[in-house]
Every structure is written in structure tokens, then in C-alpha cells.
Amino acid sequence: MTRRARIPNLGGARAVVLHREHAAVEVLIRQLGAIGLEVEQAWPDLPATAAGADFLFFDVDHGFDEQFPWKAGEAPMPLVALIGSEAPGRIEWALSLQADAQIVKPVGNAGVYSALLIARRAFDERRRLGEEIASLRRRIGERQTVVRAVVALSGAGIGEEQAYAQLRALAMSWQVSLEGAARRIVELKTTEASDERPRLA
């Protein structure tokens, strides 16, 4: 039986609406207030307080890269795209920012709450996957270091199994992880190789 994710309570959350003064913005701000969010509207510059917001709504039709102080795809909060024009270039720009949800303008009386929930879920899942990928990359890097250390130790005329056993013994002796011991071995071998390299007069 799969467990259903709980719908978060949005009361007290903060939202920034990056959009010029417009009737669509007034409707959106009313809807967000009715849901229980505190709302700040700004244009064209993103206020410094936006970094601590829980959601950011942005205008796809007139927005531009320089409005955001982070790289595309690295927003610290869920992004909701406000789309009026379906011009391919504008849609492509919204996709490049990795918007987590969208609302089509003009904003009506429905769709804001579901956009908030979808954006929150998509953002959390993207962040979780990013952390998982970073962890896997670290583990792959550590395994490569272990292999390099085993190769370095086996260069002394012993087999790979003996070299691996020696690496484990060194890790226990130094009271560090196997990966930590491997890093030390690789650093020592690199330093030795550098010291032995002939120098130009």
C-alpha cells in the first residue's frame, strides 16, 4: 500500500509576486491572501527579502534573467510561472528557469491553491533528487580514490587483494574510513611523484 503525501498547511507562508501592476496581480494577491499567505509584490527588481520567501511567482511575458540573483534551476524556493503569452521563446525561457508550476493569465478564482501545492511538491522532489545525485557522485569519486590507492599500493610488488587488505589495515591504524585512508595514500604517492620529478635548472 502506497502512503499518500500529506498536503502542507500554507497558512503563514510568504510569497513574492514579481510582476508589474496589473489586474491579474490583484486577483492573484487576493487569492493568496485568502489561502493564508503573506504576499509582497515587486517589479522589476526582486527585493532582498525574496531570498527568504516560500514561493516566487514571476511574469513570463516580461521577465528577464537579470531579475534573479541565482543561476537558472537554482532558485531557493518553488517558482510559479505566470503565463499570458504562449510565444515559444517565452515558454522556453520559463522552462530554462525550471518553473515548478504555472498559472495562465488572466488569473481566475481557481488554480492558485493547486499551483502552490504542485510547485511545493515538484520543488521538494527536485531538491531531493539533486541531493541524491550529488551523494552518488561523491560515492563514485570515493570509489575511484580507493581504486587509485590500491593500484598505488600494489605497485610495490604485491597483488591487488593484498594491497586492499593493506589499505584496510592502514585505515584501522589511522582510525579513519577506508576512503579517508585512500585519499591519504593517493596524496602521499602524488607528493612522492612530484618530489622525484626532475626539475629544470
**Interatomic CA distance for residues 10 and 185, integer angstroms:** 52
Does 197 score more than 70 pLDDT? Answer: no
Does 105 score more than 60 pLDDT? Answer: yes
- Is-contact 35 7, C-beta < 8 A? no
**Interatomic CA distance for residues 153 and 167, integer angstroms:** 8
Provide the pLDDT for residue 116.
95
pTM of structure: 0.71
Provide the pLDDT for residue 49.
87
Give the H/E segment covering residue 85: none
**Interatomic CA distance for residues 49 and 4, integer angstroms:** 33
Compute CA distances 151 → 24, 59, 98, 155, whole Å: 65, 55, 43, 6
pLDDT in tens, 112-149: 999 999 999 999 998 898 889 888 888 888 888 888 88
CA nearest to 172, candidates 160, 180, 163 = 180
Strand 101-104 vs strand 55-59: parallel, antiparallel, or unpaired? unpaired
pLDDT in tens, 69-84: 998 888 999 999 999 9
Does 188 score more than 50 pLDDT? Answer: yes
pLDDT in tens, 18-49: 999 988 889 999 999 999 999 999 999 999 88
Phi first, then psi: give them for residue 65, nearest 5 degrees.
-55, -40
CB neighbour list of residue 114: distance below 8 Å, 6 or more residues apart? none
